[in-house]
Structures are given as C-alpha cells and as structure tokens.
Amino acid sequence: MNSFHYAFKVKDIASTIEFYSNILNCSLGRQTETWVDFNFFGHQLSAHVSKNLPELDYCGLVDGVKVPIPHFGCILQKEKFDFVKQQLEKHNINFIVKPQVRYENMKGEQQTMFVLDYSNNPIEFKSFKNDSEIF
C-alpha cells in the first residue's frame, strides 16, 4: 500500500510529542514551533497547533459500538497491535473503546481499540485476522 498523509489539530507540540513519540514510539520528523511530523507506522502525520480543536461526536455505530466520527488510525499486524495496546496500558491511557474483537467468526474479523491523544483526537488501531478482508 501507499503511505498516506494526514494533517490534524493539536493543542501544543510538547504533549503531542509525548503521546506520539514517547508512548506510541512514532519517530519524529521535521518540526517547528507550530507543527510536527511523525512516522505513524509508515504514514506521515502532521500535527498543527490550533486554538480551535474539534468536538467529539459519537455518531458512528459499528457492530453495536458507538465510535467517534471523525477519527483516524492504523491497521497493524497482530504483534504491533499487541505492542501498541501494551504501550497504551503502560502509560495509563484510557480506552474510549476497549480492546475487543469485532465481527468474530465473520468476514472482516478484527481486533480494535480507540483512544484519545492529549488533544482529544480519537485514534483507532485495528488488526485483521485475515488481511485479505480489510476492504
């Protein structure tokens, strides 16, 4: 797959680096006083400081679970998913959707979890049982 680029709003650079680099282990890219880039599991995230952060809206309903829209995230191999889960737990990050299996024994079976970064941006991490069923 090709890498994607996603630019999003954050409250400050320091807490953003703490979350993405120190907790999720995403390597730092270029940065200024108002934005910072991360290698988000092979994808480019650009976090930009803003005073107008988006409000959460749990309007999505997926497999009976309310999920925040919009959100972004990453599809990971099981080992990396487990590593990220352990990192989040180690740093006492609250899950807004606890790690769980979705669509169990069905097409598209996946592990999923949602957290908020320190600017309240919802992030989903997924791991599919069968990568051929991602789409």
CA nearest neighbour of 47 among 58, 60, 33: 33
DSSP 71: -
| pLDDT value of residue 54 | 85
Spatial strand order of the sheet with 5-10 comes to: 5-10, 43-49, 35-40, 27-31
pTM score, whole prediction: 0.93
d(CA 37, CA 31): 6
- Domain presence at residue 55: no
| pLDDT value of residue 1 | 73
Same domain? 65 vs 85: yes
- Domain presence at residue 54: no
Percentage of residues in the chain with pLDDT exceeding 90?
Answer: 94
Same domain? 126 vs 100: yes
- Domain presence at residue 77: yes
Q: What is the pLDDT of residues 94-113, one digit of tens each?
A: 999 999 999 999 999 999 99
pLDDT at 30 over 90: yes
Tally of domains within the chain: 2
Residue 124 sits in a domain of what CATH number? 3.10.180.10
Taking the CB of residue 82, how many other CB atoms lie within 10 A of it? Answer: 14
21, 38 contact by CB (below 8 A)? yes
Instruction: Provide φ and ψ at 129, rounded to 5°.
Output: -65, -35
DSSP 75: E
Chain centroid to CA 16: 13
